[in-house]
Structure 1
Amino acid sequence: MRTITVVGASLAGLYAARELRAQGYDGRLVIIGAEPHPPYDRPPLSKDFLTGKADEDQLALSDAEETDELAAEWLLGVRARALDARGRTVLLEDGRTVASDGVVIATGACARRLPGPSLAGVHTLRTLCDARALRADLAAWPQRVVVIGGGFIGAETASSCVALGHDVTVVEAAPLPLLPQLGADMAAVCAGLHARGGAELVTGTGVAALHGDATVRAVELADGRMLPADVVVVGIGATPNTGWLAGSTLALDDGVLCDDGCVTALPHVVAVGDVARVGAARAEHWTSATEQPRVAVRNLLAGHTAETVRPLPYFWSDQYGSRIQFAGRRRADDTVRLVEGSPEEGSFLAAYEREGHTTAVLAVDRPRPFTRMRRGLLAAVPVAA
């Protein structure tokens, strides 16, 4: 291959570029990014960046020395518009084209938005530009903040807003936040962090409408309640960025469909990170974006699926001064056993078990024992060649 193009200057895209060089590719490397910024770390956006503890320069994922070592052509601030039918050319929105022998798709996902008119004071939090705008709106103190969605982004943003001194209400349509991931018992424990941290949690009802003239003034809930709001943060999930691939020969269904080695229907096109549906799952986790590129690049350079990924779902979330960590695959019929600590102590380690085997592990402020149990789960994942 003489030219390989990475579409997406994201965490996954940067790791793919690193892997290409590390695995011996010395040809032309082009990295296309829709945002004007070089790759940056997203997890701090809802935490240290929002609270002012971290500046933009601390978000950078690489320095000038590494940029020189990658020897890549960076095309930033321009979106990919299409991939030609045979997958050999990437078309850009500004009219340029990049002929490519291999393509790594790492275009990530975009935040879902609520339907209705656009109002000032309503934010999503996915990009650096999103975080800048939200931080600016939160500079007026104190304010009434309503966070719609009790998932990771919503909970972390709510925690940061409380730390900044704002009056915060979190609205979650499900009976409990994180219910599908943690199960009822452990989800209830983690939901308690909101009350302990100083935020009000409203569950079991959705949002009917946002009210205001040019600026948001209130959130109307599906049960008729009205929540006054100066700032609204919408954290209701993300949609994979696959629109630019419409009309290509790639299969799309909640992401770019890949085999277990991140390889698409075209062997010279692979996909990694939030946009990739590897096997039967699409995992929007930091570890997926950092672990998939090694396997994807190996298969891209080999021209076929020579190796598969060993996925073990893992996520963490920092909320109200506590760190939540989860690894594994929980099923509805799994039992939960406290290994050490207790929810009453505010720090514990719990194991999900099925037929005598540990299937997943959850920890709140127990990082070392959690890491040991996570390693044990990873060691049990079968290796497929």
Structure 2
Amino acid sequence: MQTIGIIGIGLAGLRAAAELRARGFTGTIVGWNAEGVPPYDRPPLSKELFGDFHHLLADDGLGDLDELAVDVCGEARTITRDGTWFVDGTPVDVLIIASGARPVQSIAGASTLYTLQDARALRASITPGSTVHVVGAGWIGMEVASVASAIGASVNVWEASQHFLDRTFHGTVDDIWGTWCEEAGVNVHLNQPYPGGNCDVLVQATGARPTVDFLPVGARTARGALQATSEGCVLDEEGTEIPSLYAAGDCADLGGLPGGHWTQALSDAGRLAACIMGESEPRPAPPEVFSTQFGHEITLIGEVPQADTGVREGLSIRWESGAFLGIDAPRETSRARKALRKQMAAAQTTAAIHAS
């Protein structure tokens, strides 16, 4: 194994390179970067839209491409395999797909929020007194509604499901978010598809689709992501591991949490790097979502069961599964994170014993 290729050097791809170097890989790493800018943190694009949203991952200690000796190329266009993987003619012994996802864009004239360019355009167009229509009451949609209302824009949100953040909470937080929106003057229309209408800015935030159409192999999940093992090995249509092909982050399904893109990328990178280097899989970390909305710091640890409404602790909620929604509750959130890590580690140990 002399050369490892990584298609996509956002958070997942950058951390894959960093984890490989930390585990002793001294060969060549080649990265393909479609966006053409150094890796940066995407969550601030919506959470800090009217602040300092351009955070380089290198500045946060998450990896520097030069220090990691990653040879960076432009967008990957063709991938073939003949014993060895070839990306645009460059041979690599191991190929990692970390190409992320792209927002769904199905409404004519709507803006989406995913890149630096998207954020800059939205910040320029959303102004005090402007009329903003947001389609989708998920994490991104509610963050946009929050920051836009905070600067004095008139905000309406349409959500086709019956609930705020439906894929994550299944209706258990509707009263919390409903109160915040009412206090902020955000008009929310649940269980209503977007009807159209006049506005200054239209933002579509109805989910994303994995960017994997360029890859000619690999089974796809229902949402179009690459099907992979927990170690990141990509599977074919028969469920067999494809030799030397791995995936991480939003383009793959390794058992993540809706909205938990950031922590999923970190976890995926560590697991696939360990697998590639022949090391034991690192201790599992609970999936996590963090957000800032309507003046509140929000962290979700673990996955919310659909049939459990949880127990309220002020604004926070604790579920029997160990999942915890912390709202302005950093100490309780930290305790819940540690407890769920211990629970997951014990389950991993038990599974290993049974497997042996």
TM-score w.r.t. length of structure 1: 0.81
For the 8 Å contact 2:172–2:309, the answer to whether it is kept is no
1:131 aligned partner:
119
Classify 1:293/1:185 alpha carbon distance in 2 versus 1 (closer, same or farther; 3 Å). closer
SS of 1:332 mapped into structure 2: coil
**Which whole-Å deviations, capped at 9, do the CAs of 1:215-239 have from their partners, x for residues lacking one?**
xxxx2xxxxxxx4311001000000
Distance 1:187 1:310 in 2: 30
Distance 1:270 1:300 in 2: 9
Residue 185 of structure 1: how far off its partner (Å): 3.5
Distance 2:259 2:139 in 1: 14
1:251 aligned partner:
219
Residue 349 of structure 1: how far off its partner (Å): 2.5
2:93 aligned partner:
101
Q: 2:293 aligns with which of 301, 311, 319?
A: 319
| 1:262-341 matched pairs, under 5 angstroms | 262-264=232-234, 265-278=241-254, 284-302=260-278, 306-307=280-281, 310=284, 312-338=286-312, 340-341=313-314
Distance 1:178 1:165 in 2: 24
For the 8 Å contact 2:219–2:227, the answer to whether it is kept is yes
| 1:1-385 matched pairs, under 5 angstroms | 1-48=1-48, 50-51=49-50, 53-54=51-52, 56=54, 59-62=55-58, 66-75=64-73, 78-86=74-82, 88-92=84-88, 97-115=89-107, 117=108, 119=109, 122-138=110-126, 140-208=127-195, 219=196, 227-245=197-215, 247-248=216-217, 250-253=218-221, 254-264=224-234, 265-278=241-254, 284-302=260-278, 306-307=280-281, 310=284, 312-338=286-312, 340-341=313-314, 348-353=315-320, 358-381=321-344, 382-383=347-348
**Which whole-Å deviations, capped at 9, do the CAs of 1:316-346 have from their partners, x for residues lacking one?**
22111112221223223224212x32xxxxx
1:345 aligned partner:
none
Residue 309 of structure 1: how far off its partner (Å): 6.8
Distance 1:133 1:350 in 2: 36
Residue 28 of structure 1: how far off its partner (Å): 0.8
Counterpart of 1:123 in structure 2: which amino acid? S
Distance 2:256 2:45 in 1: 29
Classify 1:90/1:166 alpha carbon distance in 2 versus 1 (closer, same or farther; 3 Å). farther
Size of the aligned set, in residue pairs, is 338
For the 8 Å contact 1:261–1:295, the answer to whether it is kept is yes
Counterpart of 1:125 in structure 2: which amino acid? L
Counterpart of 1:377 in structure 2: which amino acid? L
Counterpart of 1:315 in structure 2: which amino acid? V
Distance 2:52 2:158 in 1: 27
For the 8 Å contact 1:267–1:300, the answer to whether it is kept is no
1:216 aligned partner:
none
TM-score w.r.t. length of structure 2: 0.88
Distance 2:53 2:190 in 1: 34
Distance 1:310 1:165 in 2: 43
For the 8 Å contact 1:109–1:238, the answer to whether it is kept is yes
Distance 1:87 1:167 in 2: 58
For the 8 Å contact 1:170–1:199, the answer to whether it is kept is yes
SS of 2:30 mapped into structure 1: strand
Distance 2:219 2:21 in 1: 28
SS of 2:36 mapped into structure 1: coil
Distance 1:282 1:134 in 2: 24
Residue 70 of structure 1: how far off its partner (Å): 0.7
**Which whole-Å deviations, capped at 9, do the CAs of 1:221-279 have from their partners, x for residues lacking one?**
xxxxxx4311001000000011001x33x222221111121112224111111111115
Counterpart of 2:118 in structure 1: which amino acid? D
RMSD: 2.3
SS of 1:66 mapped into structure 2: coil
**Which whole-Å deviations, capped at 9, do the CAs of 1:51-75 have from their partners, x for residues lacking one?**
1x2153xx11115993332111111
Classify 1:296/1:108 alpha carbon distance in 2 versus 1 (closer, same or farther; 3 Å). same
Distance 1:176 1:108 in 2: 26
For the 8 Å contact 2:260–2:288, the answer to whether it is kept is no
Residue 294 of structure 1: how far off its partner (Å): 1.2
**Quick check: which one's strand share is greater?**
1
Unaligned runs of 5+ in 2: 235-240
